[in-house]
């Protein structure tokens, strides 16, 4: 007795046409146990790969790493000043210093704004954005960085 192809497919006896050998689409059963893969023949040591990546990281952020991270901060300053102007109609500060503490994972752990803008719409907006800012990762201790912005 010959079973129709669709029934063989559902039972996992026949592979899906066009799929690699041993792959079926409906049941997930493997029809052919001799599937070739591109995986290495030796087991991969995940810990050693992570250690290699960790050793390749710098111990602190250099000028380029800081510039890369402050690009996101700069976009936030523009967006938050616009929000402040739209809602409140004015922005008192001409020059603004943004101080951040960056952890080794590249995330900002602390934001410090000048006292006059901390409890404004701008300050709340910057605080909300700070969790999205990313600097390149490094292996050392958290660092403090500051950047001055001119608001026009």
Q: What is the pTM of this model?
A: 0.62
Mean per-residue pLDDT of the chain: 76
**Distance (Å, rounded) from C-alpha 114 to C-alpha 101?**
15
| pLDDT tens string 14-68 | 444 444 444 444 444 444 444 444 555 566 666 666 566 656 787 888 899 999 9
Question: Who wins on pLDDT, 13 or 106?
Answer: 106
First and final CA of the chain: distance in angstroms? 83
Is the confidence at residue 81, as pLDDT, over 60?
yes
Question: Who wins on pLDDT, 14 or 143?
Answer: 143
| Mean pLDDT calculated for residue range 80-96 | 88
If you write DSSP's letter for every residue of the chain in order, what string do you get?
Answer: ----HHHHHHHTSSPPTTSPTT--SSS---S-S----SS-SSPP-HHHHHHHHHHHS-SS--HHHHHHHHHHHHHHHHHHHHHHHHHHS----SEEEEEEEE-TTSBEEEEE--HHHHTSHHHHHHHHHHTT-B----SS--EEEEEEEE--
Question: Who wins on pLDDT, 43 or 128?
Answer: 128
Is the confidence at residue 109, as pLDDT, over 80?
yes
Torsional sign, CA 63, 64, 65, 69: positive
Angle made by CA atoms 131, 62, 78, in degrees to the nearest 5:
40
**Distance (Å, rounded) from C-alpha 70 to C-alpha 74?**
6
Q: For each of the domains in the chain, give its residue range(s) and CATH number, in order of start.
A: 1-34 (no CATH), 63-150 (3.30.2420)
């Amino acid at each position: 007795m010959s079973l129709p192809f669709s029934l063989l497919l559902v039972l996992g006896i026949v592979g899906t046409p066009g799929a690699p050998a041993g792959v079926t689409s409906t049941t997930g059963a493997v029809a052919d146990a001799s599937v070739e893969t591109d995986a290495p023949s030796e087991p991969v040591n995940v810990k050693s790969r992570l250690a290699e990546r960790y050793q390749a990281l710098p111990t602190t952020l250099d000028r380029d790493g800081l510039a890369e991270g402050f690009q996101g901060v700069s976009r936030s300053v523009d967006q938050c000043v616009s929000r402040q102007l739209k809602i409140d109609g004015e922005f008192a500060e001409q020059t603004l210093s943004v101080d951040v503490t960056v952890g080794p994972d590249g995330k900002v752990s602390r934001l410090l704004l000048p006292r006059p803008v901390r409890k404004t719409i701008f300050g709340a907006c910057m605080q909300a954005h700070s969790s999205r800012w990313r600097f390149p990762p490094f292996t050392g201790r958290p660092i403090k960085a500051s950047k001055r912005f001119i608001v026009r």
